[in-house]
Amino acid sequence: MRMIGLDIGEKRVGVAVSDPTARVATPLKVLDVMPSADLSALRRIVEDYEAELLVVGLPLTMAGEEGPQAVRIREAAAAIGTALALRVVFQDERLSSAEAKRVMTEAGLNEKQKRGSVDMVAASILLQAYLDGTGPERDGIMRDD
């Protein structure tokens, strides 16, 4: 089962995809428009990869609570899931962007190179966290082995 990871920001959306066995997440692209405004690009990705699940990063506070941003993301994710007829699950995304920047710095990328890629790398980090954690089992999802 392939999964799509989304890191939904104010202006851009990072997109990542899992391998068919739902073991490895890979950064895919950054959409410069909110998917809820225009789902065509995201719909193509879902169809091209035959994705069956959306894993959406949920921005929790450092105390683990949901604030206004989390409410906005839940609403956007619900609309996207309904429009694409996909199940949506959430993954804590605290510090995923900071981790993405750290990984990219260690890879030798400069600030200009990072700017266009941070969101998709953050999406892959949150999707990988979901895949590595108890996410699939917790949500009753069977992996293809």
Please check the confidence at residue 143 and state whether its pLDDT lies above 70. Answer: no
Range of the domain at 81: 2-134
Question: Mind spelling out the 3-state secondary structure of the chain?
Answer: CEEEEEEECCCCEEEEEECCCCCCEEEEEEECCCCCCCCHHHHHHHHHHCEEEEEEEECECCCCCECHHHHHHHHHHHHHHHHHCCEEEEEECCCHHHHHHHHHHHCCCCHHHHHCCHHHHHHHHHHHHHHHCCHHHHCCCCCCC
Tens of pLDDT, residue by residue over 30-69, are 898 665 567 889 999 999 999 999 999 998 877 778 888 8
Higher pLDDT, 103 or 88: 88
Task: For residues 121-131, give the mean pLDDT.
Answer: 91
**What is the count of structural domains for the chain?**
1
pLDDT band at residue 120 using 50, 70 and 90 as cut-offs? confident
Choose among 114, 79, 104, 103: nearest CA to 8: 79
145 lies in some domain: no
Tens of pLDDT, residue by residue over 8-29, are 888 889 999 999 999 999 999 9
45 lies in some domain: yes
pTM: 0.82
106 lies in some domain: yes
Higher pLDDT, 104 or 77: 77
143 lies in some domain: no
Q: What is the mean pLDDT of the chain?
A: 82
Residue 94: CATH number of its domain: 3.30.420.140
